[in-house]
Structure 1
Amino acid sequence: MRVAIAGAGAVGRSTAAELVEAGHEVLLIERDAANVLRTGLERANWLVADACELASLEEARLQDYQVVIAATGDDKVNLVVALLAKTEFAVQRVVARVNDPRNEWLFDEGWGVDRAVSTPRIMAAMVEEAVGVGDLVRLLTLRTGQTNLVGVTLPGATPLAGKPVRTLRLPADAALVAILRGSRVIVPQQDDPLEPGDEMLFMATVDVEAQIQEALHITPQGQPAR
């Protein structure tokens, strides 16, 4: 299958790597030459161009691709790419990344989108389904098998209530990537206060997962540490 991906940021590169590994022919369209130089995806094809420009997509011969993935970090760009791919080049399947959940309602057939992928929404659904209070649950394992997306829900009696994110003493190989609070998806900043019931998502290597619970003052049984 021939797949064109607009955007060679972290999401676009990772998606391209998976597709190339699976034997698909991949074209990455990226306007920042620096992103192209650092990817290391020698088996993918490249076009240094602005995917929002009709002339760029004509140069890429987008009509020859079965799937187009709009994977940039800008929702406006992803919508324009999706609309052009569907209306100007009649691409059979268009997948678009949703960065801000508030924009999710726009990503429909009217904008040429066959499938919208909202990472915050997916993570929220996974946490709602899988994570018990205080438990550390693996939600996603990366290809290497050594790094996981893990979720922990802060107990009601957490001693971290009201304390800012910067007070967390996380191990070196762990990073807090999102906090789910009710219907909100929070990209954590150093001064953001923590609250009981916060569903916290971390990227971490396997060997430091227990240390994450220690940093959150949670025992291995999922209870607040005294």
Structure 2
Amino acid sequence: MRVAIAGAGAVGRSIAQELLENGHEVLLIDKNPRSIKVEAVAQAEWLLADACEIASLDDAGLERCHVVVAASGDDKVNLVVSLLAKTEYGVPRVVARINHPKNEWLFNESWGVDVAVSTPRLLSALVEEAVSVGDLVRLMTFRQGEANLVELTLPEDAPLAGQLVGSVAWPQDSALVAILREGRVLVPSPDDTLEGGDELMFVANQDVEDELGELLSAR
């Protein structure tokens, strides 16, 4: 898979390194010469250019990319890159970094964003996830379908503890995608038994989150 990353700061370079280790092709783009640190991610391709300009994206061969990551520290730049990647080059998947929570409402399909990652919101969610038992915590929003990745640690005294996954009437537009148990990641099957202390990961429409939380809670 070929991935273009707009923004070669610490975040962009870290993403690039991870993708390279997973066997993908990576192109890093940045207009600031001080950000072009080829030795930091030597296996990547580098381009000194403004990712908000069509000519630069032509040079980058964006039409050949499967994914574009708008990872700069400027939300305006990330929005423009996302829009150009989707509308001008038809990139199948566009992931955008949100630096300021007040701008979250802009990062949607209208601007070409398939997945928006808000660093402040994600950190807040991880703090909640670490200390919350029995409360539904939203970890990530998938903007295009208005679905969320949510997590809940099942209380020991929850009514569902001891029940089979397949016997539970889960809300419509929700799916249990993983169970984290004693350091293991389990792909749930209908015959798996839910246990108190399980971390349950769901993809769910935001309209059913309250219903899902009530079903899983001990209250």
- Scaled by the length of structure 2, what TM-score is found? 0.59
Alignment pair present for 1:22 and 2:48: no
SS of the equivalent of 1:43 reads coil
Indicate the residue corresponding to 1:59 in structure 2: 59
Number of matched pairs: 132
Contact 1:13 1:39 in 2 (8 A): no
Report the CA distance between 1:30 and its aligned residue: 0.9
- Per-residue CA deviation, residues 115-157 of structure 1 (Å, 9 max, x unaligned), is 000011111111112137xxxxxxxxxxxxxxxxxxxxxxxxx
Q: Which structure 2 residues correspond to residues 121-200 of structure 1 after superposition, within 5 A?
A: 121-131=121-131
Indicate the residue corresponding to 1:171 in structure 2: none
- Per-residue CA deviation, residues 31-62 of structure 1 (Å, 9 max, x unaligned), is 11221136521100011000001110011110
CA distance in 2, matches of 1:106, 1:4: 22
Contact 2:38 2:46 in 1 (8 A): no
Q: List gaps (5 residues or longer) in structure 2.
A: 133-219
Contact 1:6 1:81 in 2 (8 A): yes
Q: 1:39 to 1:120 in 2, by over 3 A?
A: farther
Q: 1:42 to 1:106 in 2, by over 3 A?
A: same
Alignment pair present for 1:96 and 2:112: no
CA distance in 1, matches of 2:38, 2:55: 25
CA distance in 2, matches of 1:61, 1:84: 13
Contact 2:4 2:69 in 1 (8 A): yes
Q: List gaps (5 residues or longer) in structure 1.
A: 133-226
Alpha carbon RMSD of aligned pairs, Å?
Answer: 1.1
CA distance in 2, matches of 1:37, 1:120: 26
Q: 1:85 to 1:99 in 2, by over 3 A?
A: same
CA distance in 2, matches of 1:34, 1:2: 24
Q: 1:39 to 1:80 in 2, by over 3 A?
A: farther
Alignment pair present for 1:69 and 2:75: no
The one-letter amino acid of 2:55's match is A
Consecutive aligned runs of 4 or more in structure 1 exceeding 3 Å deviation: none
The one-letter amino acid of 2:10's match is A
The one-letter amino acid of 1:111's match is W
- Per-residue CA deviation, residues 70-116 of structure 1 (Å, 9 max, x unaligned), is 00000000000000000000000000000001100100000000000
SS of the equivalent of 1:40 reads helix
SS of the equivalent of 2:68 reads strand
CA distance in 1, matches of 2:91, 2:8: 20
Contact 1:79 1:107 in 2 (8 A): yes
CA distance in 1, matches of 2:113, 2:35: 25
- Scaled by the length of structure 1, what TM-score is found? 0.57
The one-letter amino acid of 1:90's match is G
